[in-house]
Amino acid sequence: MSKFITNHDVTDALKEVIFFAKQNNIVDLNMIDDIQIKGNDVKISVIFPKLDDPAVGIVYNSIVKTIKDKLGEEINVEVKPIAEKDKGMGPLSGVKNIIAVIAGKGGVGKSTVAANLAIALSKTGNKVGILDADIMGPSVPIMFGVEGQQPGVIDREGKTLMVPLENHGVKILSLGFFVQPNQALMWRGSMINNAFNQLMKDSEWGDLDFLVIDMPPGTGDIQLTLAQSYNIRGTVLVTTPQKIATADVRRAAMMYRQDKLTIPLLGIVENMSYFTPEEYPDKKYYIFGKGATDVLAKELDIPVLGRIPIGERIVESGDGGTPIILNENDKTGAIFIEIAQKVQDEINKL
């Protein structure tokens, strides 16, 4: 052996081993659980979604070949595959369902839907968390009335983990906890991905039935990281009734239906669907048009989960840190409860 083999040497070599199901290397996908080196013997533990996947054998053989090619034929390589469900460790091990709330463009009320959906799921008897992944415009702290606060920290097995805040029965984490309101974020893709991964994996979420992720609009770095690196149960699309809005959300939806990135689309929520004056509670005025959401739902073969009206109280409640669903006298809350139930029904069908 020409040189002393280090953990860094092995890790660097493993960056050439691709897990084709997620179109990335096993290092960047955080699949490496452990590396042990003793002389010429290298033992590598690798986490896979499922051990009965044919990709396990492919990756296994690729690891052995790559290590020998890069570091020497004399090296003895042992690969230990581990199933995600058997790992039983890590901050996401207790999370049963991760739901991504997505939109093709900003300004359609995605965060409003995510916040109210999270609370609605909690009100129907679930343990729920929400992660604000909208890096450039985090609004969840405001909507949950925890702006200016910071999560706690704990040490576990030599690693520092963030402890989410909690309000309205929901655990909450957001980059907004760590950024001053007047601070501009000028981050490249790798920095954004690192921040997102820290919120997901370096946090003590505990046992959750649902983790709702308020995604940034569009189809950028975080969307790819989420699809490639995490076990997402499904996505909820948010749009307004205009054709231009549904065109944008269509592009976002199709990202999750590409080969190797298939994640179930649970349905669409149409926000700002209609306006009902208080003095005429039976009237509905479709200010932004009508029908485009139904066309998109039919095209994608997914249900319309609910239609949220335009209302001053919805905006005021979000700005005040008490989402509209907490107002038991407002009919909109009942709509969000129905949406939460339909989301659970769609998941049960998978």
Domain 7-86 has CATH 3.40.50.1820: no
Question: For 51-63, what is the mean pLDDT?
Answer: 91
* pLDDT tens, position by position, 282-291: 899 999 999 9
Q: What is the pLDDT of residue 315?
A: 87
- Please name the residues in contact with 60: beta carbons below 8 A apart, sequence gap of 6 or more: 46, 79, 81
Confidence of residue 90 (pLDDT cuts 50, 70, 90): low
How many C-beta neighbours within 10 Å does residue 69 have? 11
What sign has the CA pseudo-torsion 102, 106, 108, 111? positive
Judged against a pLDDT cut of 60, whether residue 89 lies above it is answered with: no
Structural domain boundaries in the chain: 7-86, 95-349
Say which residue, 222 or 344, is predicted with more confidence. 344
Average pLDDT over residues 192-210: 87
More confident residue, 91 or 103: 103
The predicted pLDDT at position 224 comes to: 78
* pLDDT > 60? residue 123: yes
Residue 145: pLDDT over 70: yes
d(Cα 309, Cα 336) in Å, to the nearest integer?
Answer: 11
Beta bridge partners of 341: none
Q: Per mean pLDDT, which range of 17-31, 95-109, 250-264 is the poorest?
A: 250-264
Q: Which residue has the higher pLDDT, 277 or 90?
A: 277
* CA distance linking residue 124 with residue 327, whole number of Å: 15
Q: Is the pLDDT of residue 1 over 50?
A: no
Amino acid at 241: P
247-271 core/surface letters (b: 16 or more CB in 10 A; e: else): ebbbebbebbeeeebebbbbbbbbb
User: Could you read off the pLDDT of 163-196 as tens digits, one per residue?
Assistant: 999 999 999 999 888 776 666 666 666 777 788 8
- As a whole number, the mean pLDDT across the chain is 88
Average pLDDT over residues 138-147: 93
Q: What is the mean pLDDT of residues 318-346?
A: 94
**Residues forming a β-bridge with 346:** none
Q: Find, among 339, 318, 347, 296, the residue nearest to 141 by Cα.
A: 318
Q: Which residue has the higher pLDDT, 349 or 4?
A: 349
pLDDT at 146 over 70: yes
Residue 110 has pLDDT above 90, yes or no: yes
Stated pTM of the model? 0.76
Equal fold, 7-86 vs 95-349: no
pLDDT band for position 214 (cuts 50, 70, 90): very high
Q: Which has more confidence, 322 or 315? A: 322
Beta bridge partners of 32: 46
Is residue 202 pLDDT above 70, yes or no?
A: yes
Orientation of helix 221-229 relative to helix 243-255, angle to 10°: 40
What was the pLDDT predicted at 181?
67
What was the pLDDT predicted at 177? 84
User: Exposed (0-12), middle (13-18) or buried (19+): which is 4, by Cβ within 10 Å?
Assistant: exposed
Q: Give me 95's structure tokens.
A: 């999370």
Mean pLDDT of 249-261: 77
| The predicted structure's pLDDT at residue 188 | 65
List the Cα angle 164/168/170 in 5-degree steps. Answer: 40
Greater confidence, 281 or 101? 101
Task: Look at residues 106, 86, 92 and name the one whose alpha carbon lies nearest to residue 196.
Answer: 92
Distances (CA, A) of 308 to 58, 157, 242, 286, 311: 47, 45, 14, 12, 9
For residue 340, what are the contacts with CB-CB under 8 A and spacing of at least 6? 117, 120, 121, 123, 124
Contacts of 22 (CB under 8 A, 6+ apart): 29, 227, 228, 229, 260
Q: What is the CATH number of domain 95-349?
A: 3.40.50.300
Reported as a pLDDT band with limits 50, 70 and 90, residue 243 is confident
CA distance 245 to 239: 6
